[in-house]
């Protein structure tokens, strides 16, 4: 009797993934496919496509060496139908399996596809939960349904208790749940930035790079600086390097930005984590060990673990809790088209130019660049949420809809009206000046008195508050900004609004 067919997706590159558990090497068959639909539903960055295809090919080789039966369909293979459903049709016709086993996907559109397969193929389809996360979607929904207001901090505390990470019995390590207030320091000009571990492309990766260069030449980004880990062995080396050389300083300056340093002390582990080469628990345990061994301070370790155990779990739970309607909201009625400079970097604003350049060079920008520069500008300028979301999904190597959509739609753009964030993350040029060195080499300045020299983020900030007064003025976290706006001299206020309007018209 034929065994089961087990489909592995490109973000499920974990040997212990649920769809591979209890596999019978003698009867069962593994299917992995590279399909056109998944590389082009947005114009993914060349490095993102390279990372996933190379990691998939390496993972398939490891499964073959283990002795598993595997069919691997390359993008360029003759007969490739270009879709998951089409490739399953071909595999089922050839192998005649008894059933199809899959692990639940990270994106709603793929889940809907999976749920149609039983009827499509007239074959039992077993969709298993993805146990690589700390919480299931059902657990999050149960937690969320019992609350009038959702806030990550309280969910994070539940995850700390459940996992035991940074806990002393029932109490948090150090007596506090959150050390975020200690993690907002600016970067000293004398700060020595560690050299980051990057990985030289091997033969498989080079083959993929050639394919991507030819087939996706119109997609954004460059392959010149590609150095992401594409195997679990490389990903574990990247984890060790971060823990040893970067984690001790990560906490203090995690919100800082520096024009010549795209990586600073950040982990650079999300691309490997989100495709399955690393697991969240092993990353958090490694950071926790560094604290207990005296290698890294508590504020750094707690801040790092919170990003994975707290924020990553929270946005995933929220995504499944509110989909599919979530992306359709536009609470601030933002309708302006995405400016071309998000793709080209061709703008006089040095902060935006740097962040776009980092993004196109590396398929990466750290969380403050994404939220407080690229996201903040889109928020202040009233850019249409769907266009901003498609851009973020396309250009970052760690971007999948389940993590990208809540972060951009809710956190950066406040398009959900406050479901995810308690206030819009809007800031003027003064914030960027305080947390970076971008302003020192920009033709604009947050401190300039003349309208033509004033950083556009500042008038855009005040214009944003004025434009959204009816929606936002009663938000208690915006009391001080509105108080400042209302106490502003009328001539100054009008000048800011006029400057903002002129700048937006120039886009």
| Residue 1 in this model has a pLDDT that exceeds 80 | no
Q: Which residues contact 464 (CB under 8 A, 6 or more apart)?
A: 379, 380, 382, 424, 426
Per-residue pLDDT, averaged over 313-322, amounts to 97
Model pLDDT, residue 451: 85
| Residue 260 in this model has a pLDDT that exceeds 80 | yes
3-state secondary structure 315-364: HHHHHHHHCCCHHHCCCCCCCECCCCHHHHCCCCCHHHHHHHHHHHHHCC
Domains along the chain? 5-128 (3.40.50.620), 137-196+246-322 (1.25.40.80), 341-506 (1.10.579.10)
Token pair of 73 as six digits? 């369909």
Name the nearest CA neighbour of 388 among 328, 458, 459, 339. Answer: 339
Please tell me the pTM assigned to this model: 0.96
Per-residue pLDDT, averaged over 266-287, amounts to 98
Which sign does the torsion angle of CA 80, 83, 84, 88 carry? negative
| Residue 6 in this model has a pLDDT that exceeds 90 | yes
Mean pLDDT of the chain: 96
- What Cα–Cα distance (Å) separates residue 441 from each residue in 41, 94, 284, 353, 420? 37, 62, 38, 12, 35
Model pLDDT, residue 465: 98
- What Cα–Cα distance (Å) separates residue 179 from each residue in 174, 250, 285, 303, 388? 10, 13, 18, 7, 31
Q: Percent of the chain beyond pLDDT 90?
A: 96
Per-residue pLDDT, averaged over 87-103, amounts to 97
| Residue 300 in this model has a pLDDT that exceeds 80 | yes
pLDDT tens, 407-421? 999 999 999 999 999
Q: Are 50 and 208 in contact (CB under 8 A)?
A: yes
Per-residue pLDDT, averaged over 259-285, amounts to 97
Model pLDDT, residue 412: 98
Counting DSSP H helices and E strands in the chain, the numbers are: 24, 7
Model pLDDT, residue 347: 97
pLDDT tier, 141 (very low <50, low <70, confident <90, very high otherwise): very high
Three-state DSSP class for 161?
helix
């Amino acid at each position: 009797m034929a065994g089961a067919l087990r489909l592995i997706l490109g973000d499920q590159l974990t040997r212990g993934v649920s769809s591979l558990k209890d596999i019978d090497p003698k009867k069962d068959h593994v299917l992995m496919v590279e399909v056109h639909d998944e590389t082009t539903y947005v114009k993914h960055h060349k490095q993102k496509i390279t990372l996933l295809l190379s990691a998939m090919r390496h993972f398939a080789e490891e499964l073959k060496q283990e002795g598993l039966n595997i069919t691997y369909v390359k993008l360029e293979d003759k007969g490739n139908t270009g879709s998951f459903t089409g490739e399953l049709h071909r595999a089922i016709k050839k192998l005649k399996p008894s059933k199809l086993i899959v692990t639940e996907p990270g994106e709603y559109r793929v889940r809907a596809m999976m749920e149609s397969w039983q009827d499509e193929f007239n074959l039992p389809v077993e969709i298993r939960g993805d146990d690589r996360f700390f919480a299931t979607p059902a657990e999050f929904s149960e937690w969320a349904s019992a609350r009038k207001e959702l806030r990550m901090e309280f969910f994070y505390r539940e995850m700390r208790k459940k996992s035991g990470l940074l806990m002393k019995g029932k109490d948090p390590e150090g007596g506090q749940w959150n050390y975020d207030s200690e993690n907002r320091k600016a970067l000293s000009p004398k700060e020595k930035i560690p050299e980051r571990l990057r990985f030289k492309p091997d033969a498989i990766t080079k083959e993929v790079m050639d394919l991507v260069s030819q087939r996706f030449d119109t997609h954004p980004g460059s392959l010149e600086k590609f150095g992401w880990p594409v195997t679990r062995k490389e990903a574990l080396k990247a984890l060790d390097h971060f823990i040893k050389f970067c984690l001790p300083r990560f906490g203090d300056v995690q919100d800082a930005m520096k024009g010549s340093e795209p990586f600073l002390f950040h982990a650079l582990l999300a691309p490997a984590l989100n495709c399955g080469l690393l697991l969240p628990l092993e990353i958090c345990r490694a950071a926790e060990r560094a604290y207990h061994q005296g290698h890294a301070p508590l504020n750094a370790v707690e801040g790092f673990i919170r990003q994975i155990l707290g924020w990553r779990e929270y946005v995933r739970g929220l995504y499944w809790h509110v989909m599919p309607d979530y992306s359709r909201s536009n609470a601030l009625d933002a309708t302006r088209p995405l400016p071309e400079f998000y793709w080209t970097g061709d703008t006089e604003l040095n902060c935006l130019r740097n962040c776009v350049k980092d993004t196109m060079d590396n398929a990466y920008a750290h969380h403050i660049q994404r939220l407080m520069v690229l996201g903040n500008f889109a928020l202040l300028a009233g850019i249409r949420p769907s266009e901003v979301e498609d851009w973020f999904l396309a250009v970052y190597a760690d971007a999948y809809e389940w993590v990208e959509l809540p972060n951009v739609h809710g956190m950066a753009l406040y398009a959900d009206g406050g479901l995810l964030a308690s206030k819009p993350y809007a800031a003027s040029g003064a914030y960027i000046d305080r947390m970076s060195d971008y302003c020192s080499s920009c033709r604009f300045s947050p401190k300039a008195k003349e309208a033509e020299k004033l950083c556009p983020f500042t008038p855009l900030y005040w214009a944003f508050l004025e434009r959204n007064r009816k929606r936002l003025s009663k938000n208690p976290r915006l009391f001080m900004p509105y108080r400042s706006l209302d106490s502003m001299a009328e001539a100054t206020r009008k000048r800011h609004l006029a400057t903002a309007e002129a700048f937006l018209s120039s886009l």
